[in-house]
Chain A
Amino acid sequence: MTAGDQALLDVSNLGIRLDTSRGPAQAVREVSFALRRGETLGIVGESGCGKSITALALLGLLPDSAVVSGNIRLDGRELVGLAEADYCTLRGNRISMIFQEPMTALNPMHTIGHQVAEPLLRHTGCSATEAKRQAIALLDRVGLPDPARRYDAYPHQFSGGQRQRITIAMALACKPDVLIADEPTTALDVTIQRQILDLIADLVAEQGMAMILISHDLGVIAENVQRMIVMYGGTVVESGTTDAVFSRMGHPYTQGLFRARPRLGARKGTRLATIAGTVPELADLPAGCPFADRCNLVVDACRTALPPVAEIGAGHAVRCIRTDVALTRDPVGVIA
């Protein structure tokens, strides 16, 4: 056990180069964050901003052609360049992941019981009987009705919400230190989303895990994590405690994202605000600020180099050279 103040997971200057159909692309650059034991971190951003790639890098599951630079340290142990065999002992054991699509994340040919017991058999060396007993307890804990009887059922016999409960049981089987939840509720009915998020929050608190929650939904982030980072174009544009970021959004992109959220009770006929333009393709990310082309505060200096990270509050940092202007305009009535 490390001391509480030392980072459990320390990511610094992470860069990921991918081979795309349009040639090599720097999908992620200069991403840094740290996560303490028991802490929850949200990663928010549009599709294609690099959040899922970052998560896969933490698990060492990027395609073989990907080139990773920088450092990922788990309890001080470097994971970048870690031998595959060593990584296999960490995955599902100390770092686990819940994926976005519960309908396809389970093997249709294996019983759900076997799939939940698999990480236990793999990492804990317990007997098959013991693994089954624990798997049933896990399935019970995640709220699957009648787990002992349904142990030998197959994924197609369950609903989407139930399958997501099963994948959660699978991810938590070995009581990991870090849980990565990549859009865990995006594919689910709205009515189920809250149940699943509450379940994850309860389990994280219960087991004292650290969690990284990836979402494109600011509401989900606001309610579920202590700290957050906002990603755009493969880099972190804003980071800080959730309270700090929501009370004082320093990056024009964060502000735009916030303005663009749909709201209940909005006057009928009000158009949903949008951020003009589209996310740049990974293969043509500009040298400067990736948001420059869509930003209404842009100046020439924004396009010359990636802006440095500037602190605008305690632990609240923004990668923008126009933050001072952005902060004064707060126009949004940001606190709703």
Chain B
Amino acid sequence: MHRGLKLWNVRPPKFGAPARMSVFLLRRCLTLLATLVGASLIIFLVLDALPGNAAQMLMGADASPDAVRALTVKLGLDQPLALRYLHWLRGLVVGDLGNSYAYGTPVAELIRERLAMTIPLAILAMLLTTVLALAAGIYTAAHHNRLGDVGVMSLTQIGIALPNFWFAILLILLFAVKLQWLSAGGFPGWEDGIWPGLRSLLLPAVALAVVQAAILARVTRSAVLDVLREDFVRTARAKGLTKREVLWQHVLRNAMIPVLTVMGLQFANLLAGTIVIENVFYLPGLGRLIFQSIANRDLIVVRNCVMLLAGMVIIVNFVVDVLYAVIDPRIKVHEL
């Protein structure tokens, strides 16, 4: 019966009044801003405390002290700390992040190029993860302790144990070298349309998704099993709902809170933690940019990239918090 396939058979939960929801969002946005400012301060201070003079690094060890001093002034490194911090904050707001010491190009431009690849990759990998994990987790919970459950759970155990770079190499061997369906690496950009770009991100996304999906599937399974033991499941069955209807209409939404928490962490991880996979597939991602900038002591790039990642993690958490309140009516919006 297709009625049983509808995930939420209820209207989205209402909050006491629409006004409460907007107050909640406003308060949450203010906290978000405060967190971002706090993060920026910490990032700025920590990177400034690092030993080594950027100007000296750029000019090499045998540059004349005069030249180094001149460059220091040119880069604005001689100004007081507070002034430099405020200058950077202003830049963050208007999008003028200065020029990379190493490349000489605007940092904003460098980051934008990398994000054009990193964000689509993270979204694609997260989509694959979610689809695989929810399907496997719900299936195994519904077939608890039966053959299908044991089989799929063994697969997830293998999935967790797989190093993703090794799995990525296997994927390249099969799909790029042997079958020649997809290219082994590189990223053509989005200029030629969506398909060439997506094709080149497919294998990396699969390589990233397999491990994440294995973890998320186990989280989903145990969350669903926990809810299946609840009294209200028996109540719903006593009303005459089939097992399937109870699973889709009563259990899943209750099981979503832990699943959502892990998904938030995973997405944040996909934005920043993909440097190994970027290297395997020669992808110009954010992870490689950060790695190269650290190696070059290109502190202005490092600082902005770290700020960007912190910002993305904070925003992902914000979205997850809002979703909690949307899913669970017991989570009082004003308590978040």
Chain A residues near B (Cβ < 8 Å): 59, 61, 84-85, 88-93, 96-97, 99, 101, 104-111, 114, 118-119, 122-123, 152, 154, 156, 167, 170-171
Contact = CB atoms under 8 A, between A and B. Distances in A.
Interface in B218-263: 230-232, 234-243, 250, 253-254
Given A107-B250, A110-B10, A111-B10, A119 B232 contact: no
Contact of A61 (B13, B232, B238, B327): B238
Interface in B290-336: 327-330
A109 B328 CA distance: 6
27 contacts: A59-B238, A61-B234, A61-B237, A61-B238, A90-B240, A91-B239, A92-B239, A99-B231, A99-B235, A99-B238, A101-B231, A104-B230, A104-B231, A104-B232, A105-B234, A105-B235, A108-B232, A109-B13, A109-B327, A109-B328, A109-B329, A110-B250, A111-B13, A118-B241, A119-B240, A122-B240, A156-B329
B242 A88 contact: yes
A6 B236 CA distance: 31
B254 A96 contact: no
B232 A106 contact: yes
Nearest to A171: B238
B236 to A, nearest CB: 7
What secondary structure prevails in chain A residues at the interface with B? mixed
B231 A93 contact: no
Nearest to B14: A152
Contact of A109 (B231, B238, B240, B253): B253
A108 B9 CA distance: 14
Contact of A84 (B236, B242, B329): B242
A48 B242 CA distance: 28
A187 to B, nearest CB: 11
A118 B254 contact: no
B231 A105 contact: yes
Contacts of A84: 242-243
Contact of B241 (A59, A90, A122): A122
Nearest to A107: B232
Contact of A99 (B234, B241, B327): B234
A93 B240 CA distance: 7
